[in-house]
Structure 1
Amino acid sequence: MPYVIADDLPDAPAGVRFRALLDRPQILQMPGAHLGIAALLAKKQGFEALYMSGAAMSATMGLPDLGMITVDEVAAYIRQVTRAAGLPTLVDGDTGYGEALNVMHMVRVFEEAGAGAVHLEDQLLPKKCGHLNDKKLADARDMAAKVAAARKARRHLYIIARTDAAASEGMDGAVARAKLYLEAGADAVFPEALTTREMFAEFAKRMPGVKLLANMTEFGRTPFLTAKEFEDLGYSMVIWPVSHLRVAARAMETLYQAIRSDGGTQNQLDRMQTRAQLYETIGYHDYEALDSTLVKTVIPTGMPQDK
């Protein structure tokens, strides 16, 4: 039954539940899921937490990942995902949508929308995907101020500080920034765009006892590593941020090509989720049954004209 109409709504805030998942010894695996149906499908496969990528949300809107999406637009996605699946969700907070006060506003809006965690990055606008070149970094002290602002504003939201410094400042710069952000109040660190297994291992070795997030994105600078491999290297979390969007976009492109060339969808049926499978995924019949118990047809009797 979909979370939104279930009887077992969790009492604990999403941030508390997110932290509890990280208290376990095993790595927390979070696939990207920025749409309600994606959240349901991920939950069906047993995932206990989800990730919402700014790049995926922007691309869904037909926009590049340059920090153009707004707090309210992201909050709408958050509400959609958390209402659908009820899983604690880590949300991409980009650069915080401004300076310290903007970060505080973002934290409050995201938390009210149902997010369990957020990560902030130390880039300047227009920001870029972490795996692209020529990223411009904010002053480390300015980023630390944003982290401190997020910490002050949050009730339960788990705060992860992302640093993109490895590409331009090397491992020493990335580690120094990470330590500063932890001192400012971050709960965990996200070292972005590390390019070798050895770099992941070194970063973890130099940050003992710190919860670390690994980003396993395709077509980037990071080599393919499994969740178990990241765990063995000392990482507590791993995300696959845009994988679902890449697969879905490729499938839609194939479908549109087929309609154009074949004059219809008759050759694409084996690629589709059936109506029955879709209804099962979204709990159609559960909603239908709930509706029938709440709103019953009452046949009027004793109409005035009958008297």
Structure 2
Amino acid sequence: MTNLFSAATTPTERRRAFRAGLAGDRIQRLPGAFSPLVARAIADAGFEGVYVSGAVVAADLALPDIGLTTLTEVAGRARQIARATELPVLVDADTGFGEPMSAARTVSELEDAGLAGCHLEDQVNPKRCGHLDGKEVVPTDVMVRRLGAAVSARRDDSFVICARTDAAGTEGIDAAIERAKAYADAGADMIFTEALRTPADFEKFRAAVDIPLLANMTEFGKTELIGAELLEDIGYNAVIYPVTTLRIAMGQVEDALADIAATGTQTGWLDRMQHRSRLYELLRYAEYNVFDQKLFTYRRPPGD
């Protein structure tokens, strides 16, 4: 029987699957999940992985993405999401929540939480959203120490440590490429270059860096939205859609609340809601019923 309370596969198995996907010919697509239930929907839709965005964890707490969340909060939400899916989960670990020793502890906590990998960035701590102006990056040697500490703390060699650089927007693409090479030498398994603008930028980066590359297709930022097929053709190994599901959900929530406030009823939104029966499918009500009908006696109503 399916394990109802956690993933059936082990964290190491999911990490190895992630690494195998990164080494394969197909780009790994990782939509962001703001909850475990969204992670279930991502898996049902046929994606290769799940992403947990630091900006989304902050937004869900009604906080801006300026380094206010803690390791405990991020690891806790990421653990909940990883528990609910068989897909590998990559999490945004910001700057490692402190100095190199903090980055080492971050990797240890995220391994324990069942994540497939994380990315650490080279912004000054506390950081800010990668698509805002006014970012600052630490010197390359500081980030190399940050990465070195993270790699040294890794107990499972299959756990993926990705290095994010925000230098393209502050120092230019050539400087970001040089940083990426230094980060690869420091032990990073993958490079994430934030806020590249055009396909030509992605092509330039791919031509210069040998290890797997991750693209960020976030909306309303500095990057032209590029389809997964083109990114795959360019040679990128993974793409994240970090805030997409939250933006879709919140857009619908705000529109619906305004309509209900004006009309006094939600009836105009019934055909735009997830139906109760579909929600129950994602929640696996029927499987819980099989597990113990004495404790749980849900029956789907006729026609539901």
TM-score normalized by structure 1? 0.91
2:207 matched residue in structure 1: 205
Q: Does 1:140 align with 2:144?
A: no
Q: Structure 1 residue 49: deviation in Å?
A: 0.9
**1:145–1:4 Cα change, 3 Å:** farther
Runs of 4+ in 1 over 4 A off after TM superposition: 5-8, 293-296
Q: Is the 8 A contact 1:123 1:138 kept in 2?
A: yes
The SS at the match of 1:4 is: coil
Report the alpha carbon displacement of residue 293 of structure 1 after superposing the two structures with TM.
7.7
Query: May I ask how many residue pairs the two structures share in their alignment?
Result: 295
Give yes or no for contact 2:11–2:114 (8 Å, CA) kept in 1: no
Distance 2:246 2:2 in 1: 22
- Tell me the CA shift for residue 11 of structure 1: 7.3
Change (3 A) 1:139 1:2: farther
How far apart, in 1, do the equivalents of 2:80 and 2:196 lie? 32
Whole-Å Cα distance in 2 between the matches of residues 232 and 51 of structure 1? Answer: 22
Instruction: Tell me which residue corresponds to 1:301.
Output: none
Cα distance, 1:3 vs structure 2: 5.5
- Contact 1:3 1:9 (C-alpha < 8 Å) held by counterparts: no
Distance of 1:5 and 1:126 partners within structure 2: 35
2:270 aligns with 269
1:30 to 1:145, Cα distance in 2 relative to 1, 3 A: same
Counterpart residue number, 2:240: 239
Amino acid at match of 1:204: R
Shift of 1:295: 9.2
Mapped to 2, the partners of 1:252 and 1:21 lie a distance apart of 35
Is 2:289–2:296's contact at 8 Å kept on the other side of the alignment? no
- The letter for the 1-side match of 2:15 is G
Once the two structures are superposed, the pairs formed by residues 21-40 of structure 1 within 5 Å of their partners are: 21-40=21-40
Structure 1 range deviating more: 287-296 or 142-151: 287-296
Match of 2:261 in 1: 260
- Report which of the two structures shows the higher radius of gyration computed on alpha carbons: 1
User: Shift of the alpha carbon at 1:224?
Assistant: 1.5
Name the structure 2 match of 1:115: 115
Structure 1 position 34, deviation (Å): 2.9
Describe the superposition over 1:153-192 as per-residue Cα deviations: whole angstroms up to 9, x where unpaired. Answer: 1123200000010112112210111111111110111111
Please tell me whether residue 48 in structure 1 is matched to residue 48 in structure 2.
yes
Aligned to 2:177, which of 169, 175, 178? 175
How far apart are residue 194 of structure 1 and its match?
Answer: 0.5
CA pair 162-206 structure 1, distance change in 2 beyond 3 A: same
Residue 287 of structure 1 is matched in structure 2 by: 288
Q: TM-score, normalised by structure 2?
A: 0.92
C-alpha deviation, 1:292, in angstroms: 2.7
Distance of 2:32 and 2:7 partners within structure 1: 26
Q: Which amino acid aligns with 2:257?
A: Y
Hey, what does 1:73 align to over in structure 2? 73
Q: Which residue of 1 aligns with 2:161?
A: 159
Structure 2's unaligned 5+ residue stretches are 298-304
The answer as to whether partners of 2:11 and 2:116 remain within 8 angstroms in 1 is: no
Partner Cα separation in structure 2 for residue 288 and residue 174 of structure 1: 53
Query: Is 1:190 equivalent to 2:185 in the alignment?
Result: no
Letter in 1 for 2:235: G
- 1:114 aligned counterpart, secondary structure: coil
Query: Letter of the aligned partner of 1:118 in structure 2?
Result: C
Cα distance change of structure 1 residues 240 and 2 upon mapping to structure 2, 3 Å threshold: farther
- Sort the Cα spacing of 1:68 and 1:3 in 2 relative to 1 into closer, same or farther, 3 A: farther
Contact map agreement 1:188 1:211 (CA 8 A) in 2: yes
Q: CA deviation at 1:10?
A: 4.1
Whichever residue aligns with residue 270 of structure 1, its letter is D
The answer to whether 1:92 aligns with 2:89 is no
Whole-angstrom distance in 2 between the partners of 1:78 and 1:2: 21
CA contact (8 A) 2:29 2:47 kept: yes
Contact 1:5 1:287 in 2 (8 A): no
Question: What do residues 224-265 of structure 1 show as CA deviations (whole Å, max 9, x unaligned)?
Answer: 211111111121111111000000011111121122111121
From the superposition, tell whether residues 180 and 6 of structure 1 become closer, same or farther in structure 2 (CA, over 3 Å): closer
Distance 1:144 1:210 in 2: 16
1:4–1:83 Cα contact (<8 Å) kept: no
